[in-house]
Structure 1
Amino acid sequence: MPPNSRGWHALFRKWKLASSIVLPRRYATTSTALPGLIDPSAPPLKIRLRQYQEECIQAVLSHLEKGDKRLGISLATGSGKTTLEVIFTQLIDRVKPHAKGAEQTLILAHRQELVEQAARHCTNAYPTKSVEIEMSSMHASGSADITVASIQSLTSGDRISKFDPSRFKLVLVDEAHHIVAPGYMRTLKHFGLSEAQPSSPALVGVSATLSRFDGLKLGAAIDQIVYHKDYIDMIGEKWLSDVIFTTVQTKADVSKVKKGANGDFKAGELSEVVNTDEINKVTVRSWLAKTEGRKSTLAFCVDLAHVEGLTNAFREHGIDARFITGDTPKPERSSRLDAFKRGDFPVLVNCGVFTEGTDIPNIDCVLLARPTKSRNLLVQMIGRGMRLHPGKKDCHIIDMVASLATGVISTPTLFGLDPSELVEDATVDDMKAIQDRKEIAKRKEAEEARDENATEVSAKKQSGPITNILTFTDYDSVFDLIEDTTEERHIRSMSPHAWVCIAQDRWILTNSNGSYVKLERNFKEEAGDDQFIVTEIAALSPAISKVPFSKPRKIAKALTFDDAIHAADTYAAKKYPFQFISRNQRWRNKPATEGQLLFLNKLRQKDDQLSPEGLTKGRAGDMITKLKHGARGRFASLEVARRRQGKARLKVEQEQALRAREKVSVGPLVD
Structure 2
Amino acid sequence: MVAERNETAEELLRRLHPYQYTALQEALDAWKSGIRRQLVVLPTGTGKTVLFAVLPLFFQFRKRVLVLVHRDTLAEQARDTIREWNPYAGPVGIEMGNKYRSRNERIVVASVQTIGKFAMSESQGSRSFHVSKRLLKFHPDEFDAVIVDECHHAVASGYKNILRYFGFLDDSFAKVQPGPNRILFGVTATPKRLDKRSLYEVFDLNAFEYPIEEAIREGWLVNPRCFRIRTSVRLDDSDLNSEDLEKLSRKVNIPARNQLIVQEWLSKANDRKTVCFAVDVQHAVDLALCFRNAGVKATAVWGDDPDRDRKLKDFKRGRYQVICNCEILTEGYDDRSVSAIILARPTESESLFKQMIGRGTRLEPGVINILQWDAYGRPVSKRDCIILEVLDAYSTEHSLAMTFSEAFDLPAELDLNGAGLLEVRDTINHLKPCLQYTERSSSPAQAPLEQVKNLNELHQILAEKLHVTVEEIDLFRVKFDTNVLLHSQLAWHRIGHENYVLVLPYQMGYIRLWRNHRGVIMIDGSKLQEWHRFVLSRQTPREHFGHGFRAADEEVLQRFGRKIFDICRRDIQSDAWKSLPASPATMLRLKHICAKHGIPLPETITRGEACLLMTKMIADSISEPPPTGQQSTVLKETV
Q: TM exceeds 0.5?
A: yes
**2:390 maps to 1:400:** yes
Indicate if the aligned counterparts of 1:75 and 1:207 stay in contact, CA closer than 8 A: yes
Calculate the aligned-residue CA RMSD, in Å. 3.0
Corresponding residue for residue 333 of structure 2: 358
Corresponding residue for residue 339 of structure 1: 314
- C-alpha distance 58-471 of structure 1, shift in aligned 2 (>3 A): closer
Residue-by-residue CA offset, 1:627-658 (whole Å, 9 max, x unaligned): xxxxxxxxxxxxxxxxxxxxxxxxxxxxxxxx
In 2: Cα distance, 1:293 partner to 1:214 partner: 38
Indicate if the aligned counterparts of 1:40 and 1:123 stay in contact, CA closer than 8 A: no
Indicate if the aligned counterparts of 2:192 and 2:350 stay in contact, CA closer than 8 A: no
Residue-by-residue CA offset, 1:183-235 (whole Å, 9 max, x unaligned): 11000000111124152620000011122111214221111111111222111
Corresponding residue for residue 30 of structure 2: 63
CA shift at 1:158, angstroms?
1.8
Corresponding residue for residue 268 of structure 2: 290
TM-score where L is the length of structure 2 = 0.59
Q: Name which of 86, 90, 100 aligns with 1:139.
A: 100
SS at match of 1:52: helix
Q: Name which of 418, 422, 433 aligns with 1:425.
A: 418
- C-alpha distance 420-269 of structure 1, shift in aligned 2 (>3 A): farther
Q: Name which of 114, 136, 158 aligns with 2:74.
A: 114
In 2: Cα distance, 1:139 partner to 1:345 partner: 36
In 2: Cα distance, 1:40 partner to 1:413 partner: 42
Corresponding residue for residue 271 of structure 1: 249
In 2: Cα distance, 1:123 partner to 1:319 partner: 38
SS at match of 1:270: helix
SS at match of 1:322: strand
CA shift at 1:460, angstroms?
8.3
CA shift at 1:333, angstroms?
1.8
Q: Name which of 161, 164, 177 aligns with 1:197.
A: 177
In 2: Cα distance, 1:68 partner to 1:93 partner: 19
SS at match of 1:252: strand
Q: Name which of 185, 188, 208 aligns with 1:207.
A: 188
- C-alpha distance 167-425 of structure 1, shift in aligned 2 (>3 A): same
**2:402 maps to 1:409:** yes
In 1: Cα distance, 2:419 partner to 2:243 partner: 27
**2:279 maps to 1:312:** no
- C-alpha distance 84-416 of structure 1, shift in aligned 2 (>3 A): closer
Please show how residues 251-262 of structure 1 align to structure 2 within 5 Å: 251-255=232-236, 257-260=238-241
Indicate if the aligned counterparts of 2:193 and 2:349 stay in contact, CA closer than 8 A: no
- C-alpha distance 313-439 of structure 1, shift in aligned 2 (>3 A): farther
Q: Name which of 52, 57, 70 aligns with 1:93.
A: 57
CA shift at 1:380, angstroms?
0.4
TM-score where L is the length of structure 1 = 0.56
SS at match of 1:140: coil
Bigger-Rg structure (1/2): 1
In 1: Cα distance, 2:98 partner to 2:310 partner: 26
Report the AA paired with residue 439 of structure 2.
E
Indicate if the aligned counterparts of 2:237 and 2:400 stay in contact, CA closer than 8 A: no
**2:231 maps to 1:231:** no
Indicate if the aligned counterparts of 1:307 and 1:350 stay in contact, CA closer than 8 A: yes
In 2: Cα distance, 1:431 partner to 1:245 partner: 11
CA shift at 1:237, angstroms?
0.7
- C-alpha distance 393-256 of structure 1, shift in aligned 2 (>3 A): closer
CA shift at 1:44, angstroms?
7.1
- C-alpha distance 458-78 of structure 1, shift in aligned 2 (>3 A): farther
In 1: Cα distance, 2:430 partner to 2:232 partner: 27
- C-alpha distance 258-371 of structure 1, shift in aligned 2 (>3 A): closer
In 2: Cα distance, 1:71 partner to 1:58 partner: 13
Report the AA paired with residue 340 of structure 2.
C
SS at match of 1:403: strand
In 1: Cα distance, 2:305 partner to 2:105 partner: 36
What residue ranges of structure 2 are gaps of 5+ in the alignment? 118-131, 170-174, 366-380, 454-471, 473-639
Report the AA paired with residue 85 of structure 1.
T
Corresponding residue for residue 573 of structure 1: none
**2:203 maps to 1:222:** yes
CA shift at 1:309, angstroms?
2.2
SS at match of 1:121: helix
- C-alpha distance 440-285 of structure 1, shift in aligned 2 (>3 A): farther
In 2: Cα distance, 1:191 partner to 1:241 partner: 39
Indicate if the aligned counterparts of 1:257 and 1:266 stay in contact, CA closer than 8 A: no
**2:234 maps to 1:249:** no
- C-alpha distance 437-40 of structure 1, shift in aligned 2 (>3 A): closer
Report the AA paired with residue 139 of structure 1.
Y
Indicate if the aligned counterparts of 1:257 and 1:270 stay in contact, CA closer than 8 A: no
Please show how residues 318-329 of structure 1 align to structure 2 within 5 Å: 318-329=295-306
Q: Name which of 103, 113, 126 aligns with 2:87.
A: 126
Report the AA paired with residue 235 of structure 2.
V
In 1: Cα distance, 2:8 partner to 2:305 partner: 38
Residue-by-residue CA offset, 1:374-429 (whole Å, 9 max, x unaligned): 11111000000011115323211111112363211111113322332222111122
Corresponding residue for residue 478 of structure 1: none
